Structure formats: structure tokens, C-alpha cells
């Protein structure tokens, strides 16, 4: 089978909080127990697979209201649908108006969803790391199995760091719990961004050398350094101290592992994109999806099918959404549609409707680029970045009832490392020359245009160019909001259509650089109310 199958055992949703993080480490509500499961390396591996799966499937312990949407779908809503990248049509149907317009409160269900998904992953990882350090459990295993479990523990530490990287991004202060905090109800300690930054840097630095260099669908050495580079790049935003030289050093560690840019940009997001995550590929870390074994309406099924809007004949040939009707959800904002230059292969935007003619040909009519009204799928350009097609152009899997997309979600790619080196240099980082940094940026451009004809010169190599290039390269990949905040363009100074819930867009309160912690936390952790109050939520 081409995919890793994420099997969620009942015990794999370990410590998932059902309503609060006042007891982040609560024991699983399951007939299986740690004593039953952690009897072999395979048992540990199955539980670890459940943690990976929690990023792409709906988790029953995080399931009230919008929390039934999975981690990745919720992340997409904030990272892309609250920015100049993408506009969600289902505003009233999914209570997304406040996310789309940057006007949420502590009672917003999507804010609640993001918070509980992050801390559900943290809790699952904490339980696993604790069990993988439990000498009573480990004494049952052979030396070779103990070594395997030690590797699994490093992967769990990476996944916890990845979840906590979203916590430091979304919150000014946040609860902090590790496996060392034990079992029982208590009020977690509160970390500010400086403390969380220190934890993440130390954690990723420690585990990087313990991870494999090639392990599809799993955390690797390159993934640890690529995530570390992303954290260093945002370090000044989060802590006030620049870490751009450290960022470049982390990027250079990634480059040691032999990754290569893919020849074809669009194939990084199709149903065969796992082939770009193998040794020597571009994808450094991916969340593996399988339309047969990890069926879900979320994850990349949502990204693929959500892009399909009514009025495009034979859409299955473009999107590979076999068995699924148009979902009428995700469309391009005008700012995204306008950012591309002629000939850019990343411009996976369609500005037309299409009807079938009796002779088998098609007739196309222009769509309005402007989004004139919400809950109306007839305006706004179409996106077809995410597809469920194979490299040969066939549907990779069935996307109807009981199925889902085969398309993996690339979390970290080599193109990000290249553009990160360029930005870190421009912000004062040392370790590369200006010509080397520009060269990495132009490698991304050469792939985009198929030649070096559109490579930029030294005079164009500046931070404004980098911000625009990152939108062209990474739209709908869950990092745009973070980029805009790092460039001070998120809440004020730059507007896009429907920002602030007005069509022309307007500045919003600076507090919306952060998410509100759910009101439900106040009764179990009064510190969370204090955090919200300090920000004005």
C-alpha cells in the first residue's frame, strides 16, 4: 500500500480533554488501558499512529459544535480564511463570519476548536511520552524494541512541539503541561511566549539527532530542523529578540539531508504527492491521508472538495473529486488572484464558469473576481491548488460517502526553507552571503516559471518581495496568517476584501493578532480569563 494507515485505537485518544484543560492529563475514557496496550513495540506504534491521525481525523473527545471539525480544517480557517488568501463561503452555516472578518470573542466556537485541538494533541503526546519512559512497561520489551520505543518517543516530542508551535503563534500566554506533571486535576502553569519559545528550541534541538533522516509520514531529522527554523524566523515577533542567524543555521541542517525541489508545483498537492515525500523529494514532513483507510470529511478531503464550486462542468477531471458534488466553500480573494505574474505555474486559479456543449466542447463565461456577497458561490475566482488526481490525471480515490481524498498534507517543504533563508538574511541573519540567499529564492522562482527568465535581481530582493512570494508559494498551506503578523500586515496597514466584515476591507483591533481562549476554561483555570482580559477579549 502506498500510504501509512493511521489506525486510531480507543486508547490512542489518550488524555483528550472533553471540555477543558484543567485536567489536561486525564486518563482515557476507554475499556483499554495503558497496561493493556504498552506490552510491545507494536502497541506503542499503534498509539503513536493515533496521535498522527488526530491531526487529520475528527476526534470524539473534541467534538462539540465546531470542534467536530478536525485540527487541520480548523487551522485552515484561521491561517488562510482570515487572511488575503482564501474566503470561505459557508459563513452562516459554519458560524465563520467572525473568523473571516477578524472579530471573534471568547465564546467563538472556532476559537474553542483550535484551543482544544492543540491541547488534545499535547495531552496525547504527554501520555505517550510518559508511558515510553515507564520502566515497568519497558521492562517487558527486548533491547531492540526498547530502542524502537525510544525513537517513537522522539516522534511524539516532535508532534507535541508542532502543536505547541501553534499555541505560541495563537496566544500571548498559554497553559503549559508536559509528561512530568503527572496525572490528576490541577491548574497548569502559564507560559508566556518567551518561555514557550525556549522550550520549543530546546526540545527540537534535543530530538533532531535522534530522528531518522528518511521515514515517510513520520517526523524526521529534517522535519525537526525545518520546524525549528520556522520558530526562529518568528522568534523576534514572539519574544522581541531576533534569531535570524540561528534560523539560517537550522535551515542549513535541513539541506544536509538531500531534499530537492519537485519539478512540478501542482503535483505537490495531488493524490500522488506522497511520491514527493520520499527520499530526495521536496516534502520534509507530511500528514499522510488515505481515502480508504482514513476516511474523513476534513483534512485534504475538505481542501479538495471545498474548492469545487457549482458551474464548472466535468470538475472531476480537474479536482479528482469522484463521487462528491460541489461543496461550494473555498474561493480566492481578489488579493490572491492579483498576486501572480504571467506564466507562474503556482497560479492555480480559474476565473470562469464552464458549461458542456452537445458536441463535447465547453463554453466558458467570466466570473466576478470581487466577492460581492457571502453564502453565494457565484462570485469570486475558483482555486484548484488541492486535487485528488494521480500523476496520470485520474481520480486517486472515491470522495463520496465512505471515502475521502488520498492527498497528503505537506506541513514542511524545502521551498519554505529556501524562502526562509532569504528572509532571515534580509532581516540581518548571518551564515549566507546575499548572492547565496538570493540564489535560494530564485530556485523557487525557476521552478515556478520553468526557467530562470523570471528570476529577480538584487534590486528586487527585499522583504516586500518575500511576503508576496510567500503568498504565491504557500496559499492554503496554513502559514499565511503567521506571515502577515510577522510583517506587521495582519490587523492594520494592509487590507483585503471582507476584512473587518466590510467588502472593501478595513483595519481591525490589534488584539486579533491572537485568538481568545474559550470561556469554558475560566471555571477550571482562572488564569485563562486573566490572559483574555489582558488582551481585551
Average pLDDT over residues 416-428: 99
According to the model, what pLDDT value does residue 12 have? 35
Average pLDDT over residues 351-364: 96
Q: How confident is the model at residue 373 (pLDDT cuts 50, 70, 90)?
A: confident
In the predicted model, what is the mean pLDDT of residues 511-537? Answer: 96
The per-residue pLDDT for range 62-100, each reduced to its tens digit, is 655 554 589 999 999 999 999 999 999 887 667 889 999
Report whether 265 contacts 448 (CB < 8 A).
yes
| pLDDT reading at 308 higher than 70 | yes
Chain segment 327-344, per-residue pLDDT in tens: 999 999 999 999 999 999
> What is the number of other CB atoms lying within 10 angstroms of the CB of residue 241?
9
8 A C-beta contact, residue 428 and residue 439: no
pTM: 0.94
Are 369 and 339 spatial neighbours (Cβ–Cβ below 8 Å)?
Answer: no
Alpha carbon of residue 281 to chain centroid = 19
Average pLDDT over residues 202-212: 98
pLDDT band at 60 (very low <50, low <70, confident <90, very high): low
- 10 Å CB burial of residue 90 (0-12, 13-18, 19+) is middle
- Report whether 487 contacts 233 (CB < 8 A): no
Angle, helices 109-131/71-79, rounded to nearest 10 degrees: 130
Give the pLDDT confidence of 243-293 residue by residue, as tens digits: 999 999 999 999 999 999 999 999 999 999 999 998 899 999 999 999 887
**Res. 184: pLDDT tops 80:** no
Query: Torsion angle, CA of 188/194/200/206, rounded to 10 degrees?
Result: -110
Contact 102, 78 (CB under 8 A): no
pLDDT average, residue stretch 119-134: 96
**In Å, how far are 125, 132, 279, 347 from 147, measured between CA atoms?**
18, 10, 23, 46
Mean pLDDT of 177-199: 90
Mean pLDDT for 160-177 is: 98
- Which contacts of 236-241 are long-range, i.e. CB under 8 A and separated by 24 or more positions? 236/427, 237/485, 237/486, 238/168, 238/169, 238/193, 238/194, 238/196, 238/197, 239/193, 239/194, 239/197
* Sign of the alpha-carbon dihedral angle for 32, 33, 35, 38: positive
* pLDDT of 346 over the 80 cut: yes
Mean pLDDT of the chain: 91
Task: Answer yes or no: is pLDDT of 24 > 60.
Answer: no
Q: What is the pLDDT of residue 64?
A: 53
Task: Give residue-wise pLDDT tens across range 491-500.
Answer: 999 999 999 9
Q: Where are the beta strands (DSSP E) in 90-149?
A: none
pLDDT for the residue 375: 76
Residues 37-56, mean pLDDT to the nearest whole number: 94
Sign of CA dihedral 7, 206, 486, 532: positive
pLDDT tops 60 at residue 5: no
Report the interhelical angle of 414-426 vs 434-449 (nearest 10°): 140
pLDDT at 90: 83
Q: For the chain, which domains are there?
A: 9-206+498-537 (1.25.40.390), 211-269+411-475 (1.25.40.10), 289-407 (no CATH)
Between 17 and 514, the more confident residue is: 514
Strands annotated E in 313-471: 330-332, 349-350, 352-356, 362-366, 382-383, 409-413
Task: Please answer whether residues 484 and 336 qualify as being in contact, where contact means their C-beta atoms are separated by less than 8 angstroms.
Answer: no
Mean pLDDT score, 508-536: 96
Q: What is the pLDDT of residue 32?
A: 58
Would you state the cell numbers that stand for residue 178, as one nine-digit string?
508536559
Identify the three-state secondary structure at position 384.
coil
Per-residue pLDDT at 22: 37
Rg of the chain (C-alpha set): 22
Q: Confidence class of residue 20 from pLDDT cuts 50, 70 and 90? A: very low
Q: For residue 146, which of 50, 44, 52 has the smallest C-alpha distance?
A: 44
Q: What percent of the chain has pLDDT over 90?
A: 84
Phi/psi at 318 (nearest 5 deg)?
-90, -45
The closest alpha carbon to 18, from 94, 112, 105, 96, belongs to 112
pLDDT given for residue 106 in this prediction: 97
pLDDT band for 15, please (50, 70, 90 cuts): very low
Identify which has the larger pLDDT, 185 or 179: 179
Amino acid at each position: 500500500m502506498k500510504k501509512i494507515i493511521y489506525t486510531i485505537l480507543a486508547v490512542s485518544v489518550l488524555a483528550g480533554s472533553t471540555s477543558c484543560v484543567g485536567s489536561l492529563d486525564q486518563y482515557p475514557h476507554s475499556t483499554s488501558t495503558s497496561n493493556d496496550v504498552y506490552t510491545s513495540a507494536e502497541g506503542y506504534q499503534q498509539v503513536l499512529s493515533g496521535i498522527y491521525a488526530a491531526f487529520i481525523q475528527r476526534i470524539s473527545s473534541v467534538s462539540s459544535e465546531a470542534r467536530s471539525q478536525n485540527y487541520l480544517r480548523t487551522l485552515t480557517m484561521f491561517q488562510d480564511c482570515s487572511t488575503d488568501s482564501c474566503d470561505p463561503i459557508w459563513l452562516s452555516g459554519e458560524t465563520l463570519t467572525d473568523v473571516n472578518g477578524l472579530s471573534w470573542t471568547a465564546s467563538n466556537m472556532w476559537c474553542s476548536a483550535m484551543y482544544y485541538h492543540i491541547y488534545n494533541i499535547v495531552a496525547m503526546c504527554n501520555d505517550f511520552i510518559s508511558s515510553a519512559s515507564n520502566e515497568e512497561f519497558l521492562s517487558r520489551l527486548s533491547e531492540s524494541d526498547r530502542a524502537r520505543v525510544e525513537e517513537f518517543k522522539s516522534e511524539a516530542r516532535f508532534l507535541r512541539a508542532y502543536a505547541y508551535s501553534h499555541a505560541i503563534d495563537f496566544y500571548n500566554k498559554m497553559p503549559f503541561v508536559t509528561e512530568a506533571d503527572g496525572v490528576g486535576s490541577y491548574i497548569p502553569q502559564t507560559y508566556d511566549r518567551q518561555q514557550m519559545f525556549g522550550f520549543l528550541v530546546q526540545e527540537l534541538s534535543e530530538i533532531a539527532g535522534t530522528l531518522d533522516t528518511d521515514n515517510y509520514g513520520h517526523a524526521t531529522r529534517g522535519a525537526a530542523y525545518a520546524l525549528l527554523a520556522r520558530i526562529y524566523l518568528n522568534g523576534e515577533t514572539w519574544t522581541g529578540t531576533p534569531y535570524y542567524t540561528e534560523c539560517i543555521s537550522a535551515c542549513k541542517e535541513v539541506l544536509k539531508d538531500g531534499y530537492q525541489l519537485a519539478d512540478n508545483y501542482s503535483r505537490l498537492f495531488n493524490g500522488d504527492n506522497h511520491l514527493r515525500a520520499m527520499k530526495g523529494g521536496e516534502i520534509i514532513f507530511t500528514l499522510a491521508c488515505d481515502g480508504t483507510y482514513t476516511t474523513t470529511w476534513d483534512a485534504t478531503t475538505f481542501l479538495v472538495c471545498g474548492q469545487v464550486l457549482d458551474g464548472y462542468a466535468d470538475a472531476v477531471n480537474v479536482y479528482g473529486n469522484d463521487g462528491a458534488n460541489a461543496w461550494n466553500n473555498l474561493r480566492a480573494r481578489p488579493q490572491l488572484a492579483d498576486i501572480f505574474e504571467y506564466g507562474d505555474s503556482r497560479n492555480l486559479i480559474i476565473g470562469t464558469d464552464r458549461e458542456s456543449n452537445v458536441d463535447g466542447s465547453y463554453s466558458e463565461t467570466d466570473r466576478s473576481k470581487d466577492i460581492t456577497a457571502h453564502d453565494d458561490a457565484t462570485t469570486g475566482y475558483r482555486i484548484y491548488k488541492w486535487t485528488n488526481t494521480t500523476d496520470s490525471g485520474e481520480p486517486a480515490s472515491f470522495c463520496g460517502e465512505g471515502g475521502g481524498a488520498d492527498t497528503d498534507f505537506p506541513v514542511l517543504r524545502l521551498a519554505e526553507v529556501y524562502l526562509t533563508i532569504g528572509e532571515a538574511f534580509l532581516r540581518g541573519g548571518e551564515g549566507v552571503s546575499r548572492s547565496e540567499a538570493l540564489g535560494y529564492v530564485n530556485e523557487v522562482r525557476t521552478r515556478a516559471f520553468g526557467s530562470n527568465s523570471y528570476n529577480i535581481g538584487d534590486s528586487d530582493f527585499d522583504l516586500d518581495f518575500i511576503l508576496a512570494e510567500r503568498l504565491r508559494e504557500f496559499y492554503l498551506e496554513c502559514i499565511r496568517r503567521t506571515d502577515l503578523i510577522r510583517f506587521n500586515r495582519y490587523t492594520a496597514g494592509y487590507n483585503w476584501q471582507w476584512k473587518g466584515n466590510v467588502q472593501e476591507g478595513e483595519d481591525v483591533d490589534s488584539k486579533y493578532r491572537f485568538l481568545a481562549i474559550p470561556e469554558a476554561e475560566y471555571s477550571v483555570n482562572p488564569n485563562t480569563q486573566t490572559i483574555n482580559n489582558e488582551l481585551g477579549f
